[in-house]
Amino acid sequence: MTNVPEQDRVLIFDTTLRDGEQSPGATMTHDEKLEIAGLLDEMGVDIIEAGFPIASEGDFKAVSEIAANSRNSVICGLARANLTDIDRCWEAVKHAAQPRIHTFIGTSPLHRAIPNLTMDEMAGKIHETVSHARNLCDNVQWSPMDATRTEWEYLCRVVEIAIKAGATTINIPDTVGYTAPEESASLIRRLIETVPGADDVIFATHCHNDLGMATANALAAVAGGARQIECTVNGLGERAGNTALEEVVMALKVRHDILPWTTGVDTTKIMHISRRVSTVSGFPVQYNKAIVGKNAFAHESGIHQDGMLKNAETFEIMRPEDVGLTASNLVMGKHSGRAALRDKLKQLGHEVGDNQLKDIFVRFKELADRKKEVYDEDIIALVGTTADQTDDRLQIVSLKVLCGTGGPAEATLEMEIDGKEAIATEHGDGPVDATFKAVRALYPNEARLQLYQVHAVTEGTDAQATVSVRLEEDGVIATGQSADTDTVVASARAYVNALNRLLVRREKTGPGTDAREVSYKDVS
């Protein structure tokens, strides 16, 4: 029986929780990983690469729980080419209804030099490790990392070895985004034509976006015979990112006339998961990002607007509803009730319980009193957190800032630290600098500010600003996020939230927890 899917079917392999989370600063908590995995499962993603189980106890637990909770998707874990990694991976995924082990090794000259292996030694290692994985699991994926810079003859040799050892999926990674579309298609096509046993396995493509061609390279690989695309939501990933799930899925749907392949993804769920990944990772989506960017369905030019009014197809090749955008964007205000808010949240893809709705409603009313118009994006920002923060050791009580052209800014900050109130006034090069100095004056720390990022949730001078802060201290990384109509207030809350997460990591978690997982989102 062959493992190859129907020729018009392309499997979607999502690696947001593994390759995407490796992007510097793209931290996700345990619960956030489970949430994203659940959304991927619901939207019809075929394979979810849930993590790298050997990396940390936290990664292992997340992969294990995702595997146990999966309903539809194959759950995959990553393992390097050694028996310890593979055994640990199997322990994490074995409870899934459909488990997969994904093992890899770098095969290009540059990557072979790292473990200092000869071609023959590496070939032997590939046979040993893939065979071991196949003895544990009947669904094994193997990847020659940096395949696009591996010598052709050697690539054919190791792919054949992996197939004979029992691999059911052969993934061909463009690890550094080096290839181009024509080359990508040719490489897959030649491997299928050349390597014995290639007709009995699935060939996959994994493209990085260093030259901006990840989506084009992935689609070209499908044209060459690949039937699995590895991708991430929003193109999240190391360096310039990975192939974007939303781009390849919508390209196959919109241009089915020249790309005659289908996926099982429910495209109406794309916008919701894009927003959630952006929120939990702390990586905002660029405005002009294809499919999910804020401007993807916006029209400002008079000619464009006139054409849209007469016929939307004049300037839109897909409907906003196809990716989960609601038709209206402004229906809520300070007179709206709880039932209307629940209905709006449901339209936006958020099913909330009574307690969570109560918290969001309080925040919504506060925001509606300050803003003339409340947009869908404002409401989505409110969903970022509904957790009770009374246990946080550091809490902001009040903040007053003086700034202008006459001299340095001044911030007077009152905080509650371990239940005791304290106040400090500091000066700085701007209101945010002065505020952060006041926080450090009240709670001295050595945390280094790795990232400070601000973007407006909506338009207008009363728009909420979403602020992301990433701190690092002694190798521990924590991310805080907050939204407020006052940018300085949002900045202070995001900074304090990140500090609280550092304290949680330092004082409340046991050894072996992955520091990358410490993150928190607040949209007070």
The CATH number for 114's domain is 3.20.20.70
Q: Same domain for 302 and 364?
A: no
| 19 annotated among ligand-binding-site residues | yes
Establish if 302 belongs to a structural domain. yes
Establish if 311 belongs to a structural domain. yes
Q: Same domain for 110 and 223?
A: yes
Q: Same domain for 374 and 486?
A: no
Q: Are 137 and 145 in contact (CB under 8 A)?
A: no
Query: Could you say which of 253, 281, 309 is where a domain stops?
Result: 281
Q: Same domain for 151 and 263?
A: yes
Largest CA-CA distance found in the chain, in angstroms, rounded: 78
Establish if 80 belongs to a structural domain. yes
Establish if 314 belongs to a structural domain. yes
The values of phi and psi at residue 204, to 5°, are -120, 160
| 206 annotated among ligand-binding-site residues | yes
Name the strand (E) or helix (H) holding 231: strand 228-231
Pairing between β-strand 228-231 and β-strand 11-14 as defined by DSSP bridges: parallel
pLDDT of residue 29: 82
pLDDT of residue 307: 56
Tokens 């996700």 appear where?
A: 28
Domain span holding position 478: 394-521
Please count the structural domains in the chain. Answer: 4
Nearby residues of 376 by Cβ (< 8 Å), 6 or more positions away: 326, 329, 330, 344, 348
Query: Could you say which of 386, 415, 434 is where a domain stops?
Result: 386
Query: Could you say which of 255, 281, 307 is where a domain stops?
Result: 281
Q: Same domain for 224 and 344?
A: no
Q: Same domain for 312 and 422?
A: no
Q: What is the mean pLDDT of each run of 10 residues along the chain (524 residues)?
A: 66 95 76 94 97 93 96 97 97 97 97 94 97 98 97 98 98 97 98 97 98 98 98 95 97 96 96 90 86 74 52 72 69 73 78 82 80 73 56 89 89 94 95 96 93 81 83 83 89 92 67 42 40
pTM: 0.78
Structure tokens at 290: 């294809």
Give the separation between CA 166 and CA 276, rounded to whole angstroms: 37
Q: Same domain for 223 and 241?
A: yes
Amino acid identity for residue 283 in this structure: F
Q: Same domain for 75 and 210?
A: yes
The CATH number for 462's domain is 3.30.160.270
Q: Are 234 and 244 in contact (CB under 8 A)?
A: yes
Which of helix, strand or coil describes residue 410? strand
pLDDT of residue 207: 98
pLDDT of residue 424: 95
Nearby residues of 257 by Cβ (< 8 Å), 6 or more positions away: none
Establish if 289 belongs to a structural domain. no
Establish if 122 belongs to a structural domain. yes
Q: Same domain for 310 and 370?
A: no
pLDDT of residue 25: 66
Q: Same domain for 347 and 448?
A: no
Q: Same domain for 472 and 461?
A: yes
| 311 annotated among ligand-binding-site residues | no
Q: Same domain for 43 and 138?
A: yes
Closest to 159 in 3D by CA, of 227, 86, 104, 229: 104
Establish if 69 belongs to a structural domain. yes
Amino acid identity for residue 7 in this structure: Q
| 210 annotated among ligand-binding-site residues | no
